[in-house]
């Protein structure tokens, strides 16, 4: 248990002293960038899904034909 506590203590010390944290303005800007790309990726995935769903439905309707 002492090793775990020592590890956690050293990890927090590393975060406090050796990590360069971004400014608040940079965090806000990058959060907006991530949100926009997440929405664009979700829309692209939805569009691809809709395209293939309609293509497969049309194909199977053609087979029934």
Q: How many other β-carbons are positioned within 10 Å of the β-carbon of residue 57? A: 10
Q: How is the chain split into domains, by residue range? A: 1-64
> How far apart, in Å, do the first and last CA atoms of the chain sit?
70
Predicted confidence at residue 65, as pLDDT, reads 77
Average pLDDT of the segment spanning 18-44: 97
Sign of CA dihedral 12, 16, 22, 25: positive
8 has pLDDT over 90: yes
Overall pTM surpassing 0.85 (yes/no): no
């Amino acid at each position: 248990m002492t090793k775990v506590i020592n590890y956690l203590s050293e990890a927090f010390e590393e975060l406090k002293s050796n990590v360069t944290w971004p400014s608040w303005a940079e965090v806000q800007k990058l959060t907006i960038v991530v949100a926009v790309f997440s929405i664009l990726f979700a829309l692209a995935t939805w569009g691809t899904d809709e395209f293939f769903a309609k293509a497969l439905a049309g194909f199977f309707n053609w087979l029934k034909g």
